[in-house]
Chains A and B, each alone.
Chain A
Amino acid sequence: MAARGRAPRYGHPSAARTAGTGTGAPCPRSQERGAAAYYGPHDALLLARPRGSKPLRARHAGMRSFSARPRGITNSDFRPRGRSADWPPGASILARPVAVTTAERQGRGGAGPRRESENMSENLRSSKTTSKSPKTSAKKQKGDKAKQSSKGKRKQLDKKDEVDLSMERIGHPEIFPLVFTTKTQEIFNCRVDEDVTEENCFKLIKKEDIIQDLKTRAAISDFYPVKRVVLEYPGEELLVVFDANFQYGQNFYLVASEEAKENFLKPPDTAEEKEEKSEEEKEGTLDVHAYKRSVRKPWVSLGSEKEVEEESVKGYVTKIKYMFSRARRKFGAPIRFTDRNASHVKDSYVECTSYQDTTFSIKLLERDVGVQMVPKVKEASTQTKWTYPKNAATQYSPRQLSNEEMEESLSSEKLKEFLTSVHLRMEIALQQNEIMNAFFDDWKALAEDETSSGDKSDVYLKAYQSFTDPQYLKDRSISCVRWHPTIYGIIAESATQQHSDEERINLSDKLLLQDSVIIFWSFSDPIHPQLILQCPHDIYCFQFSPSDPNIIAGGCFNGQVVLWDISKHEERLQNAKSITVGVKKSVVNMDSASVLNLLESNDTSEPSYMEDDESVTEPPLVRYCATSSTEGSHKTVITDIHWLPDHFEVNRTGTTFENRAEICIQLVTCSPDCLILFWDIRVTKLPGKLSFEKEKNIFDMPPGVPDTFKHLALSWKPLIKINLCKSDTEMEYSPIKICLLEQHHHYKILDKAQSLNKPQALARENPYAKMSVPSNKPLKVLESISNNFFVGTKDGEIIYSDWKIKIDSDSGKPVSKKPSHKYIIHDEAVNTVQISPFFKDIVLSVGGWNFAIWKEGVTDGPILESSCTAQRYTTGHWSLTRPGVFFIGRDDGNIDIWDLLKKPHEPSHFQNISKSMITCISPWIASPKQQFLAVSDDSGVLHVLEICPILSQSSSNEQANVLDYFEREVKYLKNYEKYQEFQAKERTEKELETQMEKTSAATKQKTKRDGGARKCRL
């Protein structure tokens, strides 16, 4: 083809190709088109299949186009040329649906498929080149045409090629402008304005005629330039159009293609009109044509259904049929299943394992790949500079003057001047200090003044709590009250019958019926006792061991000494606050594990020996773990019991030795049976222990009782017996209260108690667990220990004696010393003999209707003796913090508070506590700011009173003042004695002169009475 290789100037190359090449051969430049970059996205749309060429397309691409194809357009109509992959993904036939339908509609007008396709391609092309379409925008085309024509002429001249005449350049390759001379017009009957006009511009000229004309006129024929076109023209007639407006530059033009001819002749008006309309609609630039909804038209098959048919999957293999049958009798028959091992029978099971089928290998054609942008990651690090700590020190030496310089400055006039000026000032200041004590604490003095001059109403005992128990304490008298030395707010009391001793003896059978107990109370629970100690008989006195507060020694009504070990309950007492009322902690007897274990074990591990089901609120009953043997014990009630201090021990002769273990191991008891007994709680080697007794003991002991004092059981005998016989007669004293001068000082115990109260105290080992047989090593004799003691008797005497045993020269038997001194001061039984917690030699004794204060070493009598009162004094106790204060209970339920520094002759305060007799008073320091006074009465009620600060806090030099007071009293007493003696002498002389009647004894007696009178005067 001539057109080949000629590069089109403008216009779409594909359009030129489609139309210009006409029909027949495939596009000559199809090879060039292989380059994808050459295509616009719409190219595929515009490509008409060259006739005769087989469609080339990949299956999947066809599928895609198939699915996207609009109705009426088949793949055969539009097919992508070249490789399947070249079909651009964005290119869809749908892109121009209107144009296509228009074309189709056009083609429907009876034209064959071929025509139709040609039309369509043309229409498409024209619609494609919207703005440049010659048929739509005529004006523009005109301009183009003009240019084009000139260009075309030039080219014609240059190349001398007839094809150049065609209007290919402007997109109409089938149009060839021709100049028809008048002659030619005549020959072909197309005279201007006669045969053809502007309106009727078409003239069909037969091909043969033109050929004839070319033959006859040859070169002068007007068809000569297009001779070849005419010769190649496939149809019979050629269309010549009169170009009245010189649209293509000449007066006529030849339409060289059959399709174009048809276009011009048949539907020119309608097609053009419609096309224009659609164009305008699409562009929507100027004309405002309302959108007309396309009317549904019956579907015309263009062959697409065949392709659908091809694509659909059809089964073509005959299906295999299986028939299963079974005998009728087997239906409904009972089935029996049996077990069978699958591996026993061959082929009883088939395993279907998955495997890769090599026959199918699907090539991966598409792959999803994702790319994500991430910011550049960079690692960087910096390090701060570390400065090492460094020890640095500077030292300076004080500037000092050399000796010469010093001498110089000392002798300088300036210094002398200075000293003279300063001297006076300093002297005045020093004098002031001399006159006034610069270090006198005004504030403290102010506070003391207030307390000392405080109102009487300020001094009081505030009722804090009171305890009583209807079961154990009903109609009973409280005989003894002791505070737990270490645990806060725990107080123990023992109760006895309210009868007098004589009555008790008569009613001894009945007494056994009632439980004798020691009851532990806690501040946290005023209703329920925390612990109950079982006693064989009524307890008249008991003491906590100063070394271990879990050991309690008590004196019984029948003369036995009883020991308890409450170490298992220590925790309960300590946690008394947290224990709710309902929690039962009833452990009657505990397992006999070691004491150490017991301390650790708590309520959870206890109930192994639960004997009886007590009620929920019942406190644990603790059985005594040792009693003294009845033979060795007192014959009657033990009225006082004391632990010997832990720093010494005594042997059988009363000699004091050092106590290596530093625990209290010895007890002293007294009883009205004239005996003072010393007990040792360690294992004693008594030969008189009988085997059957032993067995019996073991039998008697219920399980679970702590075995701390197992060795003592019943065979326990006193270490020393001191018989207090009156020196002159065979009468014996009946001691009620004893007071060892070598005593624990209460404040010391309290200090200890505070340290024990710490949490570590729990882990502390029971000192008594380590208690061992006294070793045979000679113990150091302690000479400094005082062996002396005061005893208050039933008859009101105060006896001063010591416990050293002397070997009687006559019989060779050990005999206790005779009491060195005895005084009859009290008119009734002494109920209190107590050493002052501040002075080791000051003793308070209470009994009958008066009290007395004694000083060891003052043999003339008490240093202070009170006048008799209307009410009986029943008990007394020193204050623990104020040396000059003591409390005395009376039988009318009052408590007298004596302050010796304030009022030595009468109680400074008194307060009613109870209706019945006060039986016991026991103070306790809970904290430096809080002190309690436990007061028990005859009716079984225990009152706990808070001591007001004025009574509990001593002033700074009270002790010294009290000591001073006592010394004064001693002096006074001595002077008085002298005076008395002197007076007595005078009197005796006088009497001797007159008559010799009076005896010296009477004089003595009188002296005593006078002494009492003297005290009253005070």
Chain B
Amino acid sequence: MTELENYLFSGIPIRTTLDNSTTVQYAGLLCQLTMKARSTVRDIDPQNDLTFLRIRSKKHEIMVAPDKEYLLIVIQNPCE
């Protein structure tokens, strides 16, 4: 089961399949994390950029695809 979310890069959700509070939480936190990850990649090599971020947790896998202005976050539940 996958859930799709679209975010503006400032952390404001544009479209979501999750409930509102979860969306806000995910959007705020993952936006920051992605920014941090991106800056890390860029600090190491200024010509490089972050294209994809996968976070594998006990319960889900969170996949983040960042771009210049938008962020696509997919949360995948393991057992379907």
Contacts of B2 in A (CB 8 A): 430
Q: Name the distance in Å between B25's Cβ and chain A's nearest Cβ.
A: 9
Known: A406-B14, A410-B14. A438 touches B67 (CB 8 A): no
Contacts of B67 in A (CB 8 A): 418, 421-422
Contacts of A439 in B (CB 8 A): 56, 61, 78-79
CB pair B52 A433 closer than 8 Å: no
Interface residue count for B (Cβ, 8 Å)? 28
Q: Please, which residue of chain B has its CB at the minimum distance from the CB of A426?
A: B65
CB pair A398 B28 closer than 8 Å: yes
Interface residues of A in 384-402 (CB under 8 A from B): 398-401
CB pair A418 B14 closer than 8 Å: no
Q: Please, which residue of chain A has its CB at the minimum distance from the CB of B74?
A: A426
Chain A 437-471: CB-based contact to B (< 8 A → 1; otherwise 0): 11100000000000000000000000000000000
Q: Is A419 an interface residue (CB 8 A)?
A: yes
Once bound together, how far apart are the Cα atoms of A320 and B21, in whole Å? 123
Q: Is A1009 an interface residue (CB 8 A)?
A: no
Contacts of B76 in A (CB 8 A): 430, 433, 438
Partner of A433, one of B24, B61, B72: B61
Contacts of A398 in B (CB 8 A): 12, 24, 27-28
Q: Name the distance in Å between B22's Cβ and chain A's nearest Cβ.
A: 11
Partner of A429, one of B13, B54, B68, B70: B54
Interface residues of B in 8-26 (CB under 8 A from A): 8, 10-15, 24
Q: Is A25 an interface residue (CB 8 A)?
A: no
Q: Is A597 an interface residue (CB 8 A)?
A: no
CB pair B13 A400 closer than 8 Å: yes
Q: Name the distance in Å between A212's Cβ and chain B's nearest Cβ.
A: 143
CB pair A426 B61 closer than 8 Å: no
CB pair A422 B54 closer than 8 Å: no
Partner of B78, one of A401, A419, A429, A438: A438
Contacts of A401 in B (CB 8 A): 8, 12-14
Partner of A409, one of B8, B52, B56, B61: B8
CB pair B61 A425 closer than 8 Å: no
CB pair A422 B72 closer than 8 Å: yes
Partner of B72, one of A399, A426, A438: A426
Once bound together, how far apart are the Cα atoms of A399 and B2, in whole Å? 25
Known: A401-B14, A414-B69, A422-B65. A430 touches B74 (CB 8 A): yes
Chain A 407-436: CB-based contact to B (< 8 A → 1; otherwise 0): 001100011001101100110011001000
Q: Name the distance in Å between B20's Cβ and chain A's nearest Cβ.
A: 8
Once bound together, how far apart are the Cα atoms of A430 and B2, in whole Å? 9
Once bound together, how far apart are the Cα atoms of A419 and B10, in whole Å? 17
Contacts of B61 in A (CB 8 A): 433, 438-439
CB pair A429 B11 closer than 8 Å: no
Q: Is B47 an interface residue (CB 8 A)?
A: no
Contacts of A410 in B (CB 8 A): 14-15
Q: Name the distance in Å between A433's Cβ and chain B's nearest Cβ.
A: 6
CB pair A414 B70 closer than 8 Å: yes
Partner of B63, one of A418, A419, A421, A429: A429
Contacts of B8 in A (CB 8 A): 401, 409
Q: Please, which residue of chain A has its CB at the minimum distance from the CB of B21?
A: A398
Known: A419-B72, A422-B65, A425-B65. A399 touches B11 (CB 8 A): yes
Known: A398-B28, A401-B14. A429 touches B52 (CB 8 A): yes
Known: A414-B70, A426-B63. A409 touches B78 (CB 8 A): no
Contacts of B68 in A (CB 8 A): 418
Once bound together, how far apart are the Cα atoms of A409 and B6, in whole Å? 11
Once bound together, how far apart are the Cα atoms of A415 and B70, in whole Å? 7
Contacts of A421 in B (CB 8 A): 67
Contacts of A418 in B (CB 8 A): 67-70, 72
Once bound together, how far apart are the Cα atoms of A406 and B70, in whole Å? 13
Q: Please, which residue of chain B has its CB at the minimum distance from the CB of A421?
A: B67
Contacts of B52 in A (CB 8 A): 425-426, 429
Contacts of B65 in A (CB 8 A): 422, 425-426
Once bound together, how far apart are the Cα atoms of A425 and B49, in whole Å? 14
Once bound together, how far apart are the Cα atoms of A425 and B52, in whole Å? 7
CB pair A399 B56 closer than 8 Å: no
Contacts of A425 in B (CB 8 A): 51-52, 65
Once bound together, how far apart are the Cα atoms of A406 and B2, in whole Å? 22
Q: Please, which residue of chain A has its CB at the minimum distance from the CB of B27?
A: A398
Q: Among B15, B61, B65, find the residue whose CB has the most chain A CB atoms closer than 10 A.
A: B65
CB pair B78 A399 closer than 8 Å: no
Chain A 773-811: CB-based contact to B (< 8 A → 1; otherwise 0): 000000000000000000000000000000000000000
Once bound together, how far apart are the Cα atoms of A425 and B74, in whole Å? 12
Interface residues of B in 25-62 (CB under 8 A from A): 27-28, 51-52, 54, 56, 61
Once bound together, how far apart are the Cα atoms of A680 and B35, in whole Å? 73
CB pair B70 A438 closer than 8 Å: no
Once bound together, how far apart are the Cα atoms of A603 and B72, in whole Å? 73
Q: Please, which residue of chain A has its CB at the minimum distance from the CB of B28?
A: A398
Q: Please, which residue of chain A has its CB at the minimum distance from the CB of B2?
A: A430
Contacts of A422 in B (CB 8 A): 65, 67, 70, 72
Q: Please, which residue of chain A has its CB at the minimum distance from the CB of B73?
A: A426
Q: Please, which residue of chain B has its CB at the minimum distance from the CB of A406?
A: B14
Q: Name the distance in Å between A399's Cβ and chain B's nearest Cβ.
A: 5
Contacts of B63 in A (CB 8 A): 426, 429-430
Contacts of B70 in A (CB 8 A): 414-415, 418-419, 422
Q: Name the distance in Å between B72's Cβ and chain A's nearest Cβ.
A: 5
Q: Please, which residue of chain A has its CB at the minimum distance from the CB of B65?
A: A422
Once bound together, how far apart are the Cα atoms of A399 and B79, in whole Å? 33
Contacts of B11 in A (CB 8 A): 399
Once bound together, how far apart are the Cα atoms of A685 and B74, in whole Å? 72
Q: Name the distance in Å between B34's Cβ and chain A's nearest Cβ.
A: 12
CB pair B15 A406 closer than 8 Å: yes
Once bound together, how far apart are the Cα atoms of A936 and B17, in whole Å? 64
Q: Name the distance in Å between A854's Cβ and chain B's nearest Cβ.
A: 35
What are 19 A-to-B residue pairs whose CB atoms are below 8 Å? A398-B12, A398-B27, A400-B12, A406-B14, A409-B14, A414-B70, A415-B14, A415-B70, A419-B70, A422-B67, A425-B51, A425-B52, A426-B52, A426-B65, A429-B63, A430-B74, A437-B78, A438-B61, A438-B78
Of all A-B residue pairs in the complex, the 8 with the closest CB atoms, nearest first, are: A439-B78, A422-B65, A398-B24, A418-B70, A418-B67, A399-B12, A422-B72, A429-B63
Apart from the given pairs A401-B13, A422-B65, 17 other A-B contacts in the complex at a CB distance below 8 Å? A398-B12, A415-B6, A415-B70, A418-B68, A418-B72, A419-B70, A422-B67, A422-B70, A422-B72, A425-B51, A425-B65, A429-B52, A429-B54, A429-B74, A430-B2, A433-B61, A439-B79
